[in-house]
Chains A and B, each alone.
Chain A
Amino acid sequence: MTLAPIDAAYTSVILLLFTALLAAVLGRYQKPLINVSFGLAVIASILMVVAGGWTVNSALTNTVILMLGLPGLNFHMRLDPLAGFFLTTIGLLSFFVSLYSIGYVKGYVGQRSVTSLVIFYCLFLSGMSLVVMADDAVFFLFAWEIMAAASYFLVMFEDQHAQNRKAALLYMIVAHVGAISILLSFGIMAGSAVGFEGFGIYTFDAMRSAQLSQTGATVAFFLAFLGFAAKAGVIPLHVWLPEAHPVAPSNVSALMSGVMLKTAIYGILRVTFDLIGRFPWWWGAVVLTLGLVSAVMGVLYALMQVDLKRLLAYSSVENIGIILIGIGLAMIFTSYQMPALACIALMAGLYHTLNHAAFKGLLFMSAGAVVHAMGQRNMDAMGGLIHRMPWTASAFLVGCASISALPPLNGFVSEWLTFQAFLLSPSLPNTLLKLLIPLGAALLALTSALASACFVKAFGVTFLGHYRGQSIDHIHEANWPMRIGMILSALTCLVLGVLPTFTIGWLNSVTHELTHATTETSHKVFDWLWLIPLQPERASYSGPVVFIGVFFIVIVTYALLHVRQSKIKRVPIWDCGFERLTNTMQYNATSFSMPIRRIFGFLFSIKETVRLSSQSGHSAFPERYHYYLRIRDLFWVWLYKPVVDVCFYLARRVGMLQAGRIQVYLIYSFITILALLVFLR
């Protein structure tokens, strides 16, 4: 028997489950527990990357039927290039995060037991990798629930704060509404499967062969999309995300934002391109529109945050939007039988999936280091951390530059591909789409410009300027395992950005599986140097030349200017001749975003009040100036709060039945018996 990629994937899942068991046993020895279990998780992650990378590289499809399962329906597992790509993404980030966790989780030792964190971390990883490998509806939902439940407990890990418990509950509710909707969608698809017996209709193979009516397909697609969109945090189903991601331990936030959201993207791709297969253009248009809305609104909300991790969580909403833009365009092109163009759009989406895992993982890890050092997440209390945490600051800067789509880093490549996909829309036969799609490109441009403002703010307020608290002396740099995790993922961002042609060549087997087309990466001799998605006259980009060019000019200029020795004088900052500036006079997170808050204010629910107070004497001589600002998610106020209020109202009304008097309850029993006697004779 020869080894197949699925064996490696299989081994990694078993290793993770074994680690979870081991953690339960080793609970008394916390420090060795952390080293051993996260070390094993690192190995499991490498196995995932090997399995996924191998599958995609050789365009293999392996299937396995497990001995486990329901009576009459064994679990089916399948590793094809699409699953392989997502498995690689999960493995890659969990590799960095597990390394990071070795250092990060030690911060909890002495405060609380980390056993549950370790167990659910391993279950969470195995759940995610099983989701992408599942090949029947039951197994898929089973793995989906493992993932959801494990992440629920991870969000709950620091359960002493009521806010964390509330966030976890909200997450659980949204996750389950989503799961129900996915379940219904699978039911519809399985219902039309022909030629399969018994529970066999629940395999994905049966669903692929199902002959769905147009209505059936539409209902199935939108149910599945609703379910996955709830998981991915597509606006307006995103409300749980900025609550749950920030309160989880930072290594878990990195995984949740970086890869858990991607399993929903996987689900959308699997159901749309693989299980349903044929679809009308307007499905794509819906996906594209929701993607655009999520991108713009996500980044605007991110800009308004003062909580560092909440900012990153909202920015995940934005990036999921960008990924959906690629997928939506790919669906539109596919529905008009333009596989070559669909391939480029899909490539953009997939590349951004990988990129977002890399840089959002990086950002959450560095934010974790900051939060650990600071003991709080409020940016307005930070500042000047670059002097105390140089490694973390550099890693965070790489992440910020990547997510702001600055060349030559990775975020730019996928954004560039998305723009190219937008500009291909004139070849569509539909005039309405032709007119409207370029406007989408403008929204994407707005998103990327706002993202860059958002991350200038995040980096500038957190790491630059003066420390806003009393003394910076207690702030310490992250320990070595954390640094290694961050440095490796920063390097990944750079490599993915500078050498995109390799990744795109590697991704071709995935796009071929879904759209039956591949992207020629280049037409020239040094073909790894130039990224040319279509013809060379149309568009080209060379990450290596940009990188080397900028580097070269910077070095030469620096050398030329330092031929002659000149002194650098360090002086206190100029305070315009007034008294010494205090640290709180700096621009902070709230003031930085004030112009944008004013321009786009109609998209938020803003409450801003100013009050003058005078403790002694007359109100004409105020002593203090109070400024209150509360910015809330408009969707929460408009969409969710009414639902919550109605639920509470109904609950109170129903609660009136429980009067607490025995006579009343006896009357209830009496009426029930009478009713039963009358109707069930």
Chain B
Amino acid sequence: MNVYPFIVEGLQLMVLLLGAPVFVGWVRTLKCWSQGRTSPGLLQPYREILKLFSKDVVIAENASWIFRLTPYLVFGVAVLSGGIIPMLSADLPLAATADVIVLVAFFAIARFFTALAAMDIGTAFGGMGASREMTIASLAEPAMLMSIFTVSLATKSTSLAQMVRLVADTHFLLRPSIVFAFLAFVLVALAETGRIPVDNPSTHLELTMIHEAMILEYSGRHLALIEWAGMMKLFLFATLATSLFFPWGIAHVTGAGAIAATFVLMILKLCVVGIGLILIEVGLAKMRLFRLTEFLGSGFLLATLGMLSFYILE
């Protein structure tokens, strides 16, 4: 039995767990630079997580077991997703566990329980965050699946490993359907990861927060897990975008040298993704909640165009 894929799987999980805070650090650094501030450095998210882990936990009196389970569950689901998305190689032992539909459902699990935990405390903020998050998700999820299905139709598969392999082997990016699908994916990913213009990760202004409103009552290790899982989610969406649409260097990894090359390539790609993300964030302001319908609607429209152009042009 070939042990090689298992090593890659382990490496990939390490990359996810350790790389996600660095990636967030990179994004924040870029943001600081773009606003003419000095940044606290790439490693600041680590320090924040470590600080939270060493603190005591404070929980509201009436919190139930759901409130305490949620951080672990959210974290567990994020780690498992990292085992499925091909980052370093498409030959992963866990890849057959779940295809792209299951991956979307994984994010749904995290959202479902975060929303419940938010309602568990019984403050108005929690309920508001939960209500808004579920509304945005219900508009984003169809667009997300449509955009991924466009790639699925072209590769005749929903298995991520297979999609990445086929995309890497063909001149794929020149297809109009994939361009549309990619644009739609970007819009949806902004919504799903709670970035500007949908949500502002650094706001604590009462009436504008969405994701922050849900986790307002968390503290200590619970908050650390949730923050870490949030960073992993951003990292996962970034790698999902690069793996699906720009998979160069991923598919056929055969030796240690190749892994190293893929790793370097991945870092480069993520750097570029970070720059793109910051360009969007700097250029746009946060939208009003009810204008998000148009934003996500246009994401859906782009995905639909992608699908139609797949049938008409290809």
Chain A contacts to B: CB under 8 angstroms: 383-384, 386-387, 393, 397, 401, 404-407, 412, 416, 419-420, 423, 426, 431, 434-435, 438-439, 441-443, 445-446, 448-450, 452-453, 456-457, 459-461, 464-466, 530, 536-542, 545-546, 549-551, 553-554, 557-558, 561, 566-575, 581, 583, 585-588, 591-596, 598-599
Contact = CB atoms under 8 A, between A and B. Distances in A.
A539 B73 contact: no
Nearest to B146: A442
Interface in B118-156: 119-124, 126-128, 130-132, 134-135, 137-146, 149, 152-153, 156
Given A550-B77, A567-B56, A443 B142 contact: yes
9 contacts: A383-B122, A438-B146, A448-B141, A456-B119, A460-B119, A538-B157, A554-B72, A573-B61, A586-B122
A570 B217 CA distance: 12
Contacts of B131: 457, 587, 591-595
Contacts of B156: 426, 538
Given A446-B141, A566-B220, A571-B61, A384 B53 contact: no
A594 B62 CA distance: 26
B167 interface: no
A466 B64 CA distance: 11
A457 B159 CA distance: 32
B116 interface: yes
Interface of B: 53, 56-62, 64, 66, 69, 72-73, 75-77, 79-80, 83, 94, 96-99, 101-102, 105-106, 108-109, 111-112, 115-116, 119-124, 126-128, 130-132, 134-135, 137-146, 149, 152-153, 156-159, 162, 217, 220-221, 225, 289-290, 293, 300, 303-304, 307-308, 311
A453 B138 contact: yes
Contacts of A567: 56-57
Nearest to B143: A442
B53 A561 contact: yes
A581 to B, nearest CB: 7
Per DSSP, chain B at the interface is helix
A585 B72 contact: no
A586 B159 contact: no
B76 A557 contact: yes
Given A540-B159, A586-B127, A596-B138, A546 B97 contact: yes
A573 B121 contact: yes
A460 B130 contact: yes
A587 B124 contact: yes
Given A434-B311, A568-B57, A541 B98 contact: yes
A441 B149 contact: yes
Contact of B217 (A439, A554, A573, A587): A573
A561 B76 CA distance: 13
Given A554-B73, A595-B135, A536 B79 contact: no
A423 to B, nearest CB: 6
Contacts of B293: 599
B113 to A, nearest CB: 9
A545 B97 contact: yes
Nearest to B138: A449
A639 to B, nearest CB: 26
A587 B126 CA distance: 8
Contact of A549 (B80, B124, B311): B80
The 4 closest A-B pairs by CB, nearest first: A587-B127, A465-B122, A460-B119, A453-B134
Given A546-B98, A599-B290, 9 more contacts: A383-B122, A446-B138, A449-B140, A452-B111, A465-B120, A530-B96, A550-B77, A570-B59, A575-B123
Nearest to A550: B76
Contact of B60 (A393, A539, A545, A572): A572
Given A566-B56, A569-B58, A449 B108 contact: yes
A317 to B, nearest CB: 17
Nearest to A454: B134
A569 B57 contact: yes
Contacts of B123: 573-575, 581, 585-586
B73 A545 contact: no
Contact of A453 (B53, B96, B127, B137): B137
A558 B72 contact: yes
A506 to B, nearest CB: 23
Nearest to A575: B123
B108 A571 contact: no
A386 B106 CA distance: 25
A532 to B, nearest CB: 8
Contacts of B56: 566-569
A202 B22 CA distance: 74
Contacts of A412: 102, 105
B94 A545 contact: yes
B78 to A, nearest CB: 9
Contacts of A538: 156-159, 162
Contacts of A571: 58-61
Given A456-B116, A539-B99, A566-B56, A423 B152 contact: yes
A176 B139 CA distance: 39
A438 B307 contact: yes
B75 to A, nearest CB: 6
A383 B153 CA distance: 45
Contacts of A537: 157, 159, 162
A592 B130 CA distance: 8
B200 to A, nearest CB: 18
A554 B137 CA distance: 24
A240 to B, nearest CB: 27
Contacts of A599: 135, 139, 290, 293
A431 B312 CA distance: 10
A554 B76 contact: yes
A541 B97 contact: yes
A581 B156 CA distance: 55
A446 B311 CA distance: 23
A573 B159 contact: no
B149 A438 contact: yes
A30 B293 CA distance: 57
Contacts of A554: 69, 72-73, 75-76
Contacts of B101: 416, 419, 539
A453 B109 contact: no
A554 B229 CA distance: 13
Contact of A423 (B62, B73, B83, B153): B153
Contacts of B159: 536-540
B102 A407 contact: yes
Nearest to A542: B97
Contact of A553 (B60, B79, B116, B121): B79
A467 to B, nearest CB: 9
Contacts of A383: 122
Contacts of A465: 62, 119-122, 126-127
A416 B102 contact: yes
Given A441-B146, A442-B300, A449-B138, A464 B115 contact: no
Contacts of B139: 449, 599
Nearest to B290: A598
Contacts of A553: 75-76, 79-80
Contact of B73 (A441, A443, A448, A550): A550
A445 B146 contact: yes
A442 B299 CA distance: 12
B102 to A, nearest CB: 6
A570 B67 CA distance: 13
B231 to A, nearest CB: 15
A519 B119 CA distance: 42
Nearest to B296: A599
A365 B297 CA distance: 38
